[in-house]
Structure formats: C-alpha cells, structure tokens
Amino acid sequence: MRVAIAVYDSQWVAKLTTQWVSAGLMVALVSIGMAAVCAWYLRRKTQNAVFGLWSGGWSCYGVSVVALLILEYLEEVSWPLLQMACLAGGGLGALFILAAALRTAKRSCPNWLLGVAGMTLVALSGAAAFFWPHWFWLRLAENLLLASAGGYAGWVFWRQQNESTRILAWGWMGWAVTVCCMPLCELWAPTKAVGHMAMAVPTLAVAMGLAVMREADVLEKKYRDLLEASSLAIFVVDLWTLEVMDANRVAQLLVRHGPGELQKMPFKKLCPELQPHGETLLDHRTAFHAVFKPYHQLRFLRKDGAEVWCEGDAHQILWRNRPAMQVNVRETDRGKTVGQLVHRSEKLTSLGQLVSGVAHELNNPLAVVLGNAQMLVKQEQINDKTRAITEKILHESERAAKIVRDLLSFAHPGQAQLAPVDINQIVNTTMRNHTADFQSHNMTHEIRLGTDMPPTLADAAQLEQVLTHLVRNAIQAMADQPTPRKLVVTTETSGLTIRITVRDTGPGIPPEIMGRIFDPFFTTKGPGRGTGLGLSICNTIMDEHHGKIWAQNNPDHGATFYVELPIVACDTPVATPPPEKTMTEIVSTPLIRKRILLVDDEPGIRDVLAEVLTCDGYEVDVADGGEAGWERINARSYDVVVSDLNMPGLDGAALYQRVLSLKPKQAQRFVFLTGDTVGDKWRTFLEGKKNRWLTKPFNIREIEDLIAEMTRTDKEGSTTP
C-alpha cells in the first residue's frame, strides 16, 4: 500500500512538474508572440526594414519554443524532426536579431550573406539533430548563439544613450542572460519552469522598448522639423563634453560644414571665445551664458578658417537624456549688433522715402533728355562734331538714369519673383553682355561652369543684376592695374548651396574697410564714378533669396566675391529662353498704319514718343491725362495704348480698370510707363497684370521693338496680344 502511494505521489509530482514547465513555455511563447507582432506592426507603420528583421528574429525563436513545447507533451513523436525545428528556429532567430542590430548600428549586412548563413544554420541543425545524440550540448550551443546576438543588440542600443533605447538595452541584456542560463535551468524541472517564466520579463521589456522607441522617434522628428524650420542657426551642444550633438541646416550653412562633419566636433573649434574655467556642468553653463548674451557679438570660424560675426543666446535643454545647451545664433555685420542695425534701418528707411520721391521726379526729365538725344544720334544729316557732343549727352544721361535706378532699388527693394533658374545660363548671359568692356580694357576673362548644376528657385533678373554689379566693379578695379588683367567667374555646388565666385586681379580690398563695403553709399571710387549702392543692393537681393554674399582678398593680389544660394527643389523645369529676334524679323512685316495712343501728363515725353512713332509709320494720338485718354479710347479703338501710371486725376491704373470693365479687348493692348517700379502700389498693380511695361527713363529702341512686336501680324492674320 505504501509502495502504491509512493508511486502515485511521484507520478503526481512528475505530472505537476510537467504542467509547470508547459505553463512556463506558454508564458514565454505569449511574450515572444507579442514582441513579434509589435515589431511587425512597426514594420508596416514605418516601412522600416529593420523592424522586419526584429519581427523575423522573434518569429523564428517562437518556432523554437513551440518545438520545445511539443517535445514536453508528445514524447512519442519522432523527436529528431522537432529537435531540428528547435535548433533551426533558434539559430535563424539569432541570425535575424544580429542582422537587425548591425543595421541599427549603421553597419552593412548584405542580404545574400544572410541567406547563405541561414541555409548553413538549417543544414547544421538537421545534421546535429539526427547524428548528435547529446541534446544538452546542442541546446547549449543554440542558446549561446541567441545570447550573443541579444547581448550585441543590447550593447548597440546602450551606446545610443537616450531614454527610449535604454529600455531596449536593458531588455536585450536581460534576455541574453536568461537565454544563456536556460540550458543549466533545464537540468531540473522546477528551475526549468521558472527560467521560461523569467524569460517573459525581458521579452516584454524589448516589445515595450520597441514601441517607446517608435514614439520617441516621432517626437524627435517633430522637434527636428521645428529645428529645420527656424531661420536661426541652432547648435545642440553636450554640456559635459562640449561637443556638437546636432545642428540644423542653417547652422551647417553658417559654418560651411556638412551634417556628418559637425557630429562630435568640439564646439570650441567653432566658437573660440567659449573658454570654460572648470570641468563641471556649472562651469560649462556659466561659460555659455558669459558668451551668448543680448547685443554681444562673437566670432564663429568657418571650415575654411574665415570669421563670421554672430549674435545669439543659449539655454539648457535635455537632449536624448543628456544635459545640453541649445545655442541660437544669427549672423550680423561686424561691429553692429541687432539693436544697432534696427536703429540704422529706421534711419535708412526715412532716407529711402526721400530718395524715392526725388528719384521719381528725376525720371521724367531724364526720359525726355534721353529720348531726344537718342533721336538726334539717329539723324544722318548732323555733322561729326554735333554727333560727338550728342553721344556725350547720351552717355551721361544713361549714367544718370542708372544712378536713379540704383536709388529706387535701394529705397524700395523689389520682391524676388522666384522661378526655376539655371545658374550657368545666367552667368553666360551676364558675361556675354560685357564682352565689349573686356575688349576695351584689354582684359581676359574665363568662365568655369560646374557640371550637373541643379536648378533652384530664384529671380533670374535680380541674380543677373548682382553679377552685373560684381563684374563691373571688377572691371573698374582692374582698369588702372598693369597687365595681365583677368577675371574668373566660377560656379559650383557647395553642400546644400550653389556658389558663384568672381575673382579679379585688381588691387584688392583694404582690410580696414572690408566690413563696410556692403554699407549703403559707401564707396572708394572717385567723384562721379559711383554712388556706393551697388554692393548694398546686391546684399539686399541675396537676403531676399536667403543667400549670402561676402568678399575676401586673394593670397597674391586681387579680391574674390562669393555669392551663395540655397538649393531649392523645383517642381517645374527651367524655362527655355526664347530666341532673340533681330530687327529685321521685327520690322519685316508691313505696318498697315497701326493706331497708337500716348497717354502721359508730361509734354516732353509725349512729344518725343509721338515724333519717334510717327517717323516709324504709325498713326499716333496723344492725351494729356487719364480722362482725355478715356475719351479717345471711347471714341475709337487702338492697336496699342501707351499709358503712364502716375498721373494726376485719373491715373494709368484707374484708366486701365475702366477700359477693362467696358472694353476688355482694348485693355489687353495697354503698355505702361512708370518712373517707380519698386513702390508697393505700382509694383503690386504690375505684378497682377499680364500687360507689358517699361521703366522711365527708357531707351527709344525698347519702345520701338515692343510696339513693333505687339502690332505685327502673324501668319493666321491675328494680332499678337
């Protein structure tokens, strides 16, 4: 009887122990399934292949645990096949986990190598299951392989040093330790059950860590988007090591470093004035606050060693679970803080309003002088002496007109009309326009265009204006220099920007005035050779394009101006410039007494244009204001209406609106004249219309070409709008 009871008790204990082990395996299997499903969901959500590898690793390991569970229940099943499944599942799981960890650490792991390693593991598992009778040693080898892969994954996540990956690091390390101890735990049934249950804890920690990492990545991406959207240069600096942890695109452009170059770079290399007097966090924070304070300028060093003057602030943040300083920097002119620049801007605004009014009043008489001089030069019957005097008048009038245009551009900088542009095409056009200047000054020039230059969004006319100013300045600087006189213009890409360099062999720029060359009205040229507005306008245009312009002296002689534009992705291709029309093409079509109406309150301009257009064979009517112009238009139709914008009473814009409402086809034939294209009122009006317009003072040839083009008849007999 006692023997029977003893046998029964031992059977009951064995059965209970088997149930404990099975329960432990079930708990482990459920946790593994949760980790696999979590990784698979993140793979679908993020389209990140690394999460697919994590899911594959957990799924293969789940197959191994299922095989073990069947071996516990069904001992009569052909166990070599189950052992093979157990060993192959564990080996493949380790392989997937190792591959995912390698890719997380940014190390290469080609897919073909994974395939070869996987097939090798399956083959070895089959051979071991069928021909190696020592199950304990096989399980030990499998678990050591899994533990090694899990331990490496934990080390990879530990090195990333942030809160979300810290959970994953602890989870993987705990899982590796548990897996490594499992062969020893399997020697005794109770420890075997406890071991499988204990494995569920780090497995669930890994699953939770994957979810937390995903959420942290989303938050970091949002912060990164805010960082990149800022117009300030932002550096995130580790408060312990004083190394750059992160920097936005504006910061990269400021110091001319790529994103990979700034990582782990000592911040003192970029900002030499930062000199902490200790090694504690308090010492480092105090040093930042001493340097980055309101209205205090400091130097930053660029990659090429050039200095850039900046102003900014710094405050402490927590970045990836480490104390850091967020440094916000803006570039300023040397010796001028933001407060001083604001005060200076207010004075320049008042000056600009005065200049704008004076320039507008000068444009009308200049247009009359230019028009009459151009007409006189065209006369064949005048003698050589009179022609020479007239050409001098014409030259000086054109110079005065350029000064007026510069004054207007300074007073009211025009808003950039952004469109896809080809920088190489703009450079070629600008240099071609100065061919005669190079020849007359005995200068050589070279154009070095970068290959595969990307298009960018910019205002082609304004960029050509910048290059024209730089080329003219270089020609003037080299005019009095001994030969060889050479100008080299280069285009290239530099990181996220397009760079244009204009290099001359002139005398260079004196160091004491280098910081003032972009100031309005500052010039080193003699009287009558410049207004000092050219480089100031260039600087304004580049600010409008979110670009930069600066100058440096060459090591030998001469100076180099640098123009940088951000590369902005274009949704449409660069427009192909239309072929230039020759005068023969324009006037070859017979004019059948086209009717022209001139509307302008300035008698001199009306008389000049009326005489020119009458000589060209047009029938010309004139009106001294908007009301008189409306009476003419109401009485008959015209092929072209040339109207001034700024007139007393009914101005040109109001006349156009009245014609548009009553005679819309006639409104399409309007051409506007204005002496102020940069004022907000007229600029807004002109930008909203498709009509042509010319600025005063204008060139007579421009008027003739424009009207000839608008009045010529195409092959179908329709008039060009």
* Higher-pLDDT residue of 403, 587: 403
* Higher-pLDDT residue of 304, 114: 304
* Domain residue limits, the chain: 2-221, 230-332, 341-411, 419-566, 583-711
DSSP state of 719: B
Phi, psi (degrees; rounded to nearest 5) at 305? 90, -5
CATH of segment(s) 2-221: 1.20.1070.10
Q: Is 490 helix (H, G, I), strand (E, B) or coil?
A: strand
Q: Tell me the β-bridge partners of 553.
A: 559
Which pLDDT does position 677 carry in this prediction? 53
Which pLDDT does position 491 carry in this prediction? 92
Average pLDDT (570-587) is: 58
C-alpha–C-alpha distance, residues 309 and 301, integer Å: 9
Of the candidate ranges 5-19, 388-402, 419-433, the one whose mean pLDDT is the lowest = 5-19
Average per-residue pLDDT in the chain? 76
Which pLDDT does position 593 carry in this prediction? 72
Matching residue, tokens 């600029």: 683
Q: Is 9 helix (H, G, I), strand (E, B) or coil?
A: helix
CATH of segment(s) 230-332: 3.30.450.20
C-alpha–C-alpha distance, residues 638 and 630, integer Å: 12
Of the candidate ranges 7-21, 43-57, 637-651, the one whose mean pLDDT is the lowest = 7-21
SS3 of 208-251 = HHHHHHHHHHHHHHHHHHHHHHCCCEEEEEECCCCEEEEECHHH
C-alpha–C-alpha distance, residues 489 and 552, integer Å: 15
Query: Are 394 and 374 contacting, i.e. CB atoms less than 8 angstroms apart?
Result: yes
Average pLDDT (60-83) is: 70
Element (H, E) at 423: helix 423-433
Residue 135, token pair as written in the block: 């199950």
Q: Where are the alpha helices (DSSP H) in 545-625?
A: 583-587, 603-615
- Please name the residues in contact with 232: beta carbons below 8 A apart, sequence gap of 6 or more: 250, 312, 328, 329, 330
Residue 521, token pair as written in the block: 């009205």
With the CA atoms of 425, 429, 434 and 438 taken in that order, what torsion angle do they form, in degrees rounded to the nearest 10? 40
Which pLDDT does position 589 carry in this prediction? 43
Query: Are 638 and 663 contacting, i.e. CB atoms less than 8 angstroms apart?
Result: no
Percentage of residues in the chain with pLDDT exceeding 90? 4
Query: Are 171 and 181 contacting, i.e. CB atoms less than 8 angstroms apart?
Result: no
Which pLDDT does position 16 carry in this prediction? 45
The half-sphere exposure of 602 on its side-chain side, counting CA atoms within 13 A, is 23
CA distances from 277 to 157, 266, 284, 699 (A): 34, 16, 8, 67
CA distances from 601 to 608, 619, 638, 652 (A): 13, 20, 19, 10
CA distances from 138 to 70, 142, 452 (A): 18, 6, 59
The predicted model scores a pTM of: 0.46
What are 602-612's pLDDT values in tens digits? 888 888 888 88
Q: How confident is the model at residue 156 (pLDDT cuts 50, 70, 90)?
A: confident
What are 163-173's pLDDT values in tens digits? 667 777 777 78
What are 485-512's pLDDT values in tens digits? 888 999 998 777 889 999 998 888 888 7
430: number of Cβ within 10 Å: 20
Query: Please, what's the b/e burial string for 201-235 (b: 16 or more CB within 10 A of its CB; e: otherwise)?
Result: ebbbbbbbbbebbbebeeebeeeeeebeeeebbbb
416: number of Cβ within 10 Å: 18
Average pLDDT (363-374) is: 68
* Higher-pLDDT residue of 296, 553: 553
Q: What is the DSSP string of 609-659?
A: HHHHHHHTT-EEEEESSHHHHHHHHHHS--SEEEEESS-SSS-HHHHHHHH
* Residue 707 amino acid letter: I
Is the pLDDT assigned to residue 721 strictly greater than 70?
no
C-alpha–C-alpha distance, residues 501 and 490, integer Å: 5
Angle between helices 460-478 and 423-433 (to 10 degrees): 40
Which pLDDT does position 3 carry in this prediction? 39
- Helix, strand, coil percent content, the chain, rounded in steps of 5: 60, 15, 25
Q: What is the DSSP string of 112-135?
A: HHHHHHHHHHHHHHHHHHHH---H
Is the pLDDT assigned to residue 585 strictly greater than 50?
no
Residue 64, token pair as written in the block: 């191994």
Of the candidate ranges 145-149, 365-369, 563-567, the one whose mean pLDDT is the lowest = 365-369
- Which of 522, 538, 542 is closest to 530 using CA atoms? 522
- Which of 698, 447, 457, 480 is closest to 572 using CA atoms? 457
Question: CA 706, 708, 714 angle in degrees (round to 5)?
Answer: 115
- Which of 334, 335, 317 is closest to 326 using CA atoms? 317
Is the C-alpha dihedral spanning 77, 80, 84, 86 positive or negative? positive
Which pLDDT does position 538 carry in this prediction? 84
Query: Are 84 and 130 contacting, i.e. CB atoms less than 8 angstroms apart?
Result: yes
CA distances from 658 to 56, 693, 705 (A): 74, 18, 27
Q: Is 479 helix (H, G, I), strand (E, B) or coil?
A: coil
Q: How confident is the model at residue 219 (pLDDT cuts 50, 70, 90)?
A: low
* Residue 35 amino acid letter: A
Phi, psi (degrees; rounded to nearest 5) at 526? -70, 170
What are 86-137's pLDDT values in tens digits? 777 777 888 888 888 888 777 766 777 767 777 777 777 767 667 766 666 7
* Higher-pLDDT residue of 578, 173: 173
137: number of Cβ within 10 Å: 12
Which pLDDT does position 537 carry in this prediction? 79
483: number of Cβ within 10 Å: 10
What are 510-526's pLDDT values in tens digits? 887 877 787 776 676 65
480: number of Cβ within 10 Å: 10
Most confident segment among 251-260, 380-389, 594-603:
594-603
Which pLDDT does position 490 carry in this prediction? 92
Q: How confident is the model at residue 586 (pLDDT cuts 50, 70, 90)?
A: very low
CA distances from 232 to 228, 309, 330, 699 (A): 9, 14, 6, 44
Q: In terms of C-beta density within 10 A (0-12 exposed, 13-18 middle, 19 or more buried), how is residue 350 classed?
A: exposed
Domain 583-711 CATH superfamily: Response regulator (3.40.50.2300)
Q: In terms of C-beta density within 10 A (0-12 exposed, 13-18 middle, 19 or more buried), how is residue 373 classed?
A: buried
Pick one of 3.40.50.150, 3.30.565.10, 3.20.20.80, 3.40.50.970 as the CATH number of 419-566.
3.30.565.10
Of the candidate ranges 184-188, 319-323, 511-515, the one whose mean pLDDT is the lowest = 184-188
Which pLDDT does position 500 carry in this prediction? 92
Domain 341-411 belongs to what architecture? Orthogonal Bundle (1.10)
Which pLDDT does position 599 carry in this prediction? 92
* Residue 162 amino acid letter: N
Maximum distance among all alpha carbons in the chain?
149
